[in-house]
Amino acid sequence: MALVSGGFAQAAGGEVDVARLGKELTPVGADRAGNKDGSIPAWTGGDMKAPQGWRVGAPRPDPYGNDKRQFSIDATNVDRYKDKLAAGQIEMIKTVPGYRMDIYPTHRSCGYPDFFYDRTRKNAANAKLADNGYEIAEAIGAAVPFPLPRNGAEVIWNHKLNWKGEGFVAHFASYIPPKGGDSIGEAIVQDEFEMSPMWSPSNKGLADARGIEYQLLNVYTAPPSIAGDATLAQYNFAKPNDVWLYFASQRRVRRAPTYQYDAPVLNTENLEVVDQYFQFNGPLDRYNWKLLGKKELYVPYNTYQLNSPSQKVADVVKPKFFSRDLTRYELHRTWVVEATLKEGMRHTFPKRMFYIDEDSWTILVADMFDAQGKVWRTAEMGPYMAWEIPACVSGANSSFDHVSGRVLLDRVIGGGKDTDWLAAREGRLKAATFEPDGLRRATTR
């Protein structure tokens, strides 16, 4: 694997290192400069302003919609670009008929508010992991906890605490195309509410967050066979996660203490496990996390068209993958983290590789391997700017199973409405939503 230097093996804290933020490093810890051949430009602050005339709630325009495609990577030329592809991407290009990656000019569009940068700078000096090396012990929220990471666990925490505003409400559908057919399958429609005390700009740390990492309520609204079913999850810092499940047919709320790690996600036909959701979530205790450095990678990025509610579902979702015409790939620098299963631990995936965007700390590509070292699943998720927050956020994502040849296409908002990223800030989403009584209220509306 060809790794590039920059920002690696830095000492945590210390005046010299912290002073690099906002200078040769961006305020969130990325390399400010472009790469040697200019295919990755320098970061100049991100594209923080919405296109003229856009208003919150309207379909989000693509500010780069006039860019010309530079080239495509497909089965005829994939070996030429293999040094800038993940193993699973190469496998998909070689084995999935019609799969290609269209490459566009790189735009380092991600940016955040000044208060976010100020708080990130404080974390650079003060945040730390616990003595066990994988739990977080100290950090303030609404910031990157470890902009100068020393190890893989710190990088993964940067993803897990990725800031998307104070809390949001999303309405989307998932699709699992049947194997061997041309159908995209039935829409699995969901309302999702997410919030975290760690996302508040006034958060003072883990204690102030009452030990809560983040909270999620997911309610299925279609098809009729599962309409009304719901999941309520509270992710905790220093104790097991709390999960409650509601099945409309039983009209009962049940605690589900084993619904984590590699437990299959409900209604995904075993194509996603719980800690795959949003690329990775939940406890880090079952893996060793090794930071390998940085790698230039072709990744989904500035995914405005794929995440536009004005798109028709049939134009977005295809039987094996998201539309190749709507999925934009760019060359970006990514942090590379290798997760290997600890001795004595068990998990469906003995090894995982994560490629994390240096500008947004989002896992853009994740490869999961079987016991023989063969790539089993490949997941992709691309960011775009939500100017109203402002922050880089993500939506539509895919998880392809190389063994079964099937795919889960998740968080599709085509034909629906955009995510309400200001729901918590403007009072449309409250903490009471994430209590067991809130689960009952949500499922009996």
Which tens digits make up the pLDDT trace of 233-289? Answer: 999 998 889 999 999 888 888 999 999 999 999 999 999 999 999 999 999 999 999
- Chain segment 123-165, per-residue pLDDT in tens: 999 999 999 999 999 999 999 999 999 999 999 999 999 999 9
pLDDT at 252: 84
Got the DSSP string for 278-302? TS--S--TTEEEEEEEEEEEEEE--
Which residue has tokens 């940016």? 111
Nearest-angstrom CA–CA distance, 380 and 388: 24
Does a structural domain hold residue 58?
yes
- Which domain does 43 fall in, by range? 15-443
Residue 418 has pLDDT above 70, yes or no: yes
Question: pLDDT (tens digit, 9 = 90+) per residue, 340-358?
Answer: 999 999 999 999 999 999 9
| Beta strands in 143-239, from DSSP E residues, in sequence order | 167-175, 188-195, 212-222, 230-236
Which tokens in the block code for residue 434?
Answer: 């994430």
Q: Characterise 165 by phi-psi region: left (phi > 0), alpha (psi -120 to 50), beta (else).
A: left
436 pLDDT above the threshold of 80: no
- Scanning 84-210, the segments in alpha helix (DSSP H) are 87-95, 114-126, 152-160
Q: What is the CATH number of the domain that holds 390?
A: 2.50.20.10
Of 157, 92, 93, which Cα lies nearest the Cα of 120? 157
Instruction: State yes or no: pLDDT of 414 exceeds 50.
Output: yes
* Phi, psi for 51 (deg, rounded to 5): -55, 145
Contact 163, 142 (CB under 8 A): yes
Using the predicted structure, report yes or no on whether residue 1 has a pLDDT greater than 90. no
pLDDT at position 4 is 54
Residue 444: the pLDDT is 62
For residue 4, being part of any structural domain is answered with no
Strand partners, 329: 103, 300
Percent of the chain residues topping a pLDDT of 70: 96
Is residue 7, in this structure, part of any structural domain at all?
no
**pLDDT range class, residue 34, cuts 50, 70, 90:** very high
HSE (side-chain half, CA atoms, 13 Å) at 133 = 9
Q: Tell me, yes or no, whether 170 lies in a domain.
A: yes
Which two three-digit tokens encode residue 86? 């993940």
Q: Which residues contact 163 (CB under 8 A, 6 or more apart)?
A: 112, 116, 141, 142, 143, 144, 199, 391
Structurally, the chain folds into a number of domains equal to 1
* Whether residue 441 has pLDDT greater than 80: no
SS3 387: coil
Strands 188-195 and 242-247: what pairing?
A: unpaired
Q: What is the pTM of this model?
A: 0.96
Residue 250 inside a domain? The answer is yes
302 belongs to a structural domain: yes
Indicate the average pLDDT of the chain. Answer: 94
In a domain, 194, yes or no: yes
Task: Please measure the distance between the N-terminal and C-terminal CA atoms of the chain and give it in whole angstroms.
Answer: 52
Backbone angles phi, psi at 324, to 5 degrees: -70, -25
Is pLDDT at 11 greater than 50 in this prediction?
no
Q: 8 lies in a domain? A: no
Position 303 scores a pLDDT of 98
CA distance 293 to 112: 24
- For position 7, what pLDDT does the model report? 47
